[in-house]
Structure 1
Amino acid sequence: MLKKYVYSVMGFMLISLQSIHAELPQDSRRPGGIAVIPLGQEIKNVRFNQQNILISNENTQRYAILGIPLNTPIGTLKLETNTQPIQIKIKPYAYAEQHINVKNQDYVNPSDAQLTRYANEAKVQNDVYSSFTPSTWQALPHFIRPTLGQFSNSFGRKRFFNGEERAPHSGLDIPAPIGQKVVAPADGIVVQTGDYFFNGKTVLIDHGQGLISMFCHLSKIEVKQGQHIRQGEVLGLVGKTGRVTGPHLHWGMSLNNARVDPQLFLRP
């Protein structure tokens, strides 16, 4: 049963969701989380940080599904709509720390040439993350695990490489043997493939409406840019390319250009 409460606060609409339909992502209003917001019929579009927000239709109810950036401060966020703004509350979340010993110093203190390469690669990927393409679905499809293995709960960890602090981990690591199959968690279009400095061999899939999945450190890429891929089809093989300490799959999810916890797309 869907339970929702709508309050009026300071002239804005403050919405809280207690439980959601099984096909929707898990509602977790924290940095790196997802807010699943029921919409009234009068609301036609929703924007945040000048980005369009994914809208899913579940029977007669429409939802805005917002990705919350990892660097979001605790407090209240305001989303713009074609009517009145929507406010949601962001709660604190205690992410763990991770201290990693990297033997190859190029991945800790890259040269100017390597930094230039990384900047160029990051721009190409960010262009994908900031895109917003039409979806072929009305209701957001459910997602499956892209490969076998126990999740490491590494998303959001504060990372230290050889004692030096780096950006929080924006994906989920799944330890697995080299050569294990990696499949598409949902239907989409392969919008980018490449062999990148930090990420190694990488595939990006556009699922529509600003929802992008990313698969890094592959040993082999089995798809091509522009290819339509169905849920469960093989996109590559687990590897240890790029900056890694062992074989694993880095699974990232970007929603409205915010890196969010991929586990929130899976059924609890």
Structure 2
Amino acid sequence: MNKSLIAAYLLIWSVTSAAQAIGLPKHHPVPGGIAVIPIGIAEPTTFNGKPVMTLTTTNEAYAIVGLSLSTNPGEHEILAGKRRITFKVSAHQYETQHLTIKNRRQVNPLPIDLERIRRERKEMDSAFLHFAVNSKPNTDFQSPVDGPRSSSFGLRRVLNGQPRNPHSGMDIAALEGTPIVSPAGGIVTAMGNYFFNGNTILIDHGQGLVTMYCHLSSIDVEPGEIVDAGTLIGKVGQTGRVTGPHLHWGVSLNNARVDPALFLSDW
């Protein structure tokens, strides 16, 4: 085994061990994943010109970088203060999922729907782009609802025979009315009844970490409300574009949609 390969394995091992010890998200540097990068001392850090989360342990600081599904595999770099630190993104193949949606308008929206969708995306984008520099988010999440995973993150979706955007979250199957809780502390920054997502809540946990909860039957929080881990925020439903009752749980990190499973120790 050559020295560079040994060094790569040691880096993965050290990052994984640190993540388990202090509750960092899992290091999985693929499109739609997260890169947990040791940076020595904590300094303002950016990726592609955008600020990224930094968390500090007793002996080490880490940049927690969200990688969008459109990230190209290969070598990338972050800028920690004035230091350039490189890391590698590996290729990853997501499976394809075929779904049949009864409401054809939610596959091929009408012009009036498209205007509504644009307004809603602008509202959600504002929440995803917010970055609270001085916050110290807890990234050791609890599951927001009890139930099996019914649809994984990143699936390449085909709706009524037509290719559509990949699945940007995790679907958890549960009966309508099942309680949904916040996986960590944060503040409710947006909510509403959206065309595709149905009744939806967005929670800002700090430093560009935002979680989203879709298709709810009811919402039990208000905009601006501060929530703790375990706070009841709503109940499972089947509003918006769905095939049955479930929670669509999304996670955005530095405005990149990433796999929520990377924040759970028991998935």
- TM-score by structure 1 length? 0.91
Amino acid at match of 1:143: F
Alignment of 1:1-268 (within 5 A): 16-18=11-13, 19=16, 20-22=18-20, 23-41=23-41, 44-137=43-136, 140-268=138-266
8 Å contact from structure 1 (residues 56, 140) kept in 2: no
Following superposition, the deviation at residue 99 of structure 1 comes to 0.4
Following superposition, the deviation at residue 116 of structure 1 comes to 0.7
8 Å contact from structure 1 (residues 189, 226) kept in 2: yes
2 CA distance for matches of 1:199 and 1:141? 24
2 CA distance for matches of 1:255 and 1:91? 18
Greater share of helix residues, 1 or 2?
Answer: 2
Distance 1:174 1:49, change over 3 A: same
8 Å contact from structure 1 (residues 17, 37) kept in 2: no
8 Å contact from structure 1 (residues 215, 249) kept in 2: yes
Following superposition, the deviation at residue 127 of structure 1 comes to 1.0
2 CA distance for matches of 1:261 and 1:117? 27
1 CA distance for matches of 2:70 and 2:130? 20
Corresponding residue SS for 2:116: helix
Corresponding residue SS for 2:205: strand
Distance 1:78 1:134, change over 3 A: closer
8 Å contact from structure 1 (residues 212, 253) kept in 2: yes
Partner of 1:10: none
Partner deviation per Cα, 1:54-75 (whole Å, 9 max, x = no partner): 0111222111000001111111
Corresponding residue SS for 1:207: strand
Q: CA RMSD in A?
A: 1.7
1 CA distance for matches of 2:131 and 2:204? 9
Distance 1:64 1:150, change over 3 A: same
The percentage of aligned residue pairs carrying the same residue is 44
1 CA distance for matches of 2:161 and 2:139? 41
- TM-score by structure 2 length? 0.91
Corresponding residue SS for 2:150: coil
8 Å contact from structure 2 (residues 135, 207) kept in 1: no
What count of residue pairs does the alignment treat as equivalent?
255
Corresponding residue SS for 2:247: strand
Distance 1:136 1:78, change over 3 A: closer
Following superposition, the deviation at residue 50 of structure 1 comes to 2.3
Following superposition, the deviation at residue 135 of structure 1 comes to 4.8
8 Å contact from structure 2 (residues 138, 184) kept in 1: no
